[in-house]
Amino acid sequence: MSVRFPVRTGALPVAGFAGVVVLVLATAGLPVPPAVLVPLGLTGMGVVVLAWLGLGRRTAEIPVRGWYRLTAAWCLPLLFAPPLFSGDVHSYLAQGVIAAGGQDPYRLGPLTALGAASPVVQQVSPYWQDTTAPYGPFWIAISRAIAQLAGHDLIPTLLLNRLVELAGVALAAWALPRLARRTGVSPGGALWLGLLNPLVLWHVVAGAHNDGLMIGLMLAGLEIALAGLSSPPRIAAGLVLLTLAANIKIMAAAAVCCLAVVLARHAGRTAGRGAAALLGVLGGFAGLSLAISWLTGLGLGWVGALGGSAAVHSWLAPTNQLGFLAGGLGALAGLHITSAAISVMVRIGAVLGAIAGARLLWSIHRGRFHPVTGLGLVFSVMLIAGPVVQPWYLLWALLPLAASVRSDRARRGLARGSAVLAMALPPLGGGAAVLVEGYLVAAAFLAALWWFGRPTPPGPDAALAVPVAGQTVE
């Protein structure tokens, strides 16, 4: 089932913008009971999601620049919202303050470094107050610079973090249509599914997650390198951007591996030349990472701190879900094995994920997958087999796949999955009863909106995000 509206394309952008404004107003701290604000915020979110799904049927009607303007319009109100869906920006601030004070965020968590009386620490979730920074030195250097500019004040910190993430959004906006043309996908379809995706709005812009900058650098670096496979300067420029992305979050090193196997294939028919190209990329990545660690003055402590985020069990991670299931079955027999079961499942997932990832890289090397598609699949394996999954992690796989997957069925599946995850987290708390009421009220309103807006007769499902041949990047 797809969403259809008997309205012209121009009404959908207006509806989406109105939904964003409603969400911002609902989360602005108005003196209104949560029983009103929660359904209001969820309704605003739902209107955005419905408008976005409706625009997926009209990718041929909107030029590339139109998608840019539409994304800018929907992002603008979110710049004035408080941190939404996550408080990670508070952790970024704490880590920046620690680094700005000359302490090591890779050895000390916020509570140990700043003390319980610090107003910065009090904003950090209790889950992360004792956790060292799990990010690379490039990101910690950015957080340190923001802390030096904004001090301990959350409002300028949030604004500066959002501006940094908007730079990542701009890089993704530049790269997506170019990667799409490279893989034979409609640039408009790639921008709709990737750039305007509600998960980008909620978690990169409103949530200010550093995944936005990581993904933007990764996509731009991959495009620059793929566009110049016979040009060493272009390959080097692309590798620099990919290395910077991996020095925000190490997961972006998957793109470095994809580039390495592509260059190994491109280098020539002999195994020696291929191995030299492969080792050259990996050696260049290692050397650049060492240089970043040295230039930022943060050293190599980040390598040992990469697993810090896995200390908290992630309910969305399949490996954790299997561990919880085993723990629940054990509890029926009077055994307390949940933590041990999760640990075992995470290790099994790591082994299976490494095997699947290696097979995908080999398939990219053999030319069975385009490197952009392969990158999206590698990230998909990471999400399935990894120890931690958050809704915004889907963007790691989603944006490369938005620029490379041509199957209508697969694109519809990505769109529907995005829509479900976009509604999975409420914008406000208020207790279980308030949340249940909020979702029921919002669902009733959105169902009525869809019912009165349904067209007759309905169009074919396949119209959702069909690649348009010949659409050019403007």
Q: Tens of pLDDT along 55-101?
A: 988 888 889 999 999 999 999 999 999 999 888 899 999 999 999 99
* Cα dihedral 426→431→437→443 (10° resolution): 10
How many structural domains compose the chain? Answer: 2
Q: What is the pLDDT of residue 308?
A: 61
420 and 435 inside one domain: no
pLDDT value, residue 258? 94
Query: What pLDDT sits at residue 190?
Result: 95
Per-residue model confidence (pLDDT) at position 463: 41
DSSP 8-state symbol, 62: S
Joined together, the tokens standing for residue 375 give: 């990158």
* 146 and 263 part of one domain: yes
Same domain, 175 and 263: yes
302 neighbors 293 (Cβ within 8 angstroms): yes
What local confidence, expressed as pLDDT, does residue 468 receive? 40
The answer to whether residue 36 sits within a structural domain is yes
Residue 375: inside a domain, yes or no?
no
- Is 239 in contact with 129 (CB distance < 8 Å)? no
Q: Is residue 334 part of a domain?
A: no
pLDDT in the model for residue 452: 63
Handedness of CA 193, 198, 203, 207 (dihedral sign): positive
Same domain, 34 and 172: no
Neighbours of 127 (CB within 10 A): 12
Q: Tell me, yes or no, whether 283 lies in a domain.
A: yes
Give the HSE-up count for residue 195: Cα atoms under 13 Å, Cβ half-sphere. Answer: 37
**Stretches in the chain below the pLDDT threshold 70:** 1-10, 268-269, 307-314, 450-474
In 388-470, DSSP assigns E strands to none
Tell me, yes or no, whether 48 and 117 share the same domain.
no
Does 360 fall in a domain?
A: no
Shared domain check, 438 and 416:
no
Residue 147 lies in a domain: yes
Residues 443 and 297 placed together within one structural domain of the fold: no
- The whole-number pLDDT of residue 334 equals 79
| Domain carrying residue 436 | 1-61+431-461
User: Residue 310: its pLDDT value, please?
Assistant: 58
Q: 191-241, pLDDT tens digit by residue?
A: 999 999 999 999 999 999 999 999 999 999 999 999 988 889 999 999 999
- Looking at residue 187, its amino acid is P
Q: What is the pTM of this model?
A: 0.89
CA separation for the pair 273, 270 (Å, rounded) = 6
For residues 35 and 173, membership in a common domain is answered with no
Residues 210 and 278 in one domain: yes
Same domain? For 96 and 23 the reply is no
Token digits of residue 415: 């769109």
Residues 181 and 48 in one domain: no
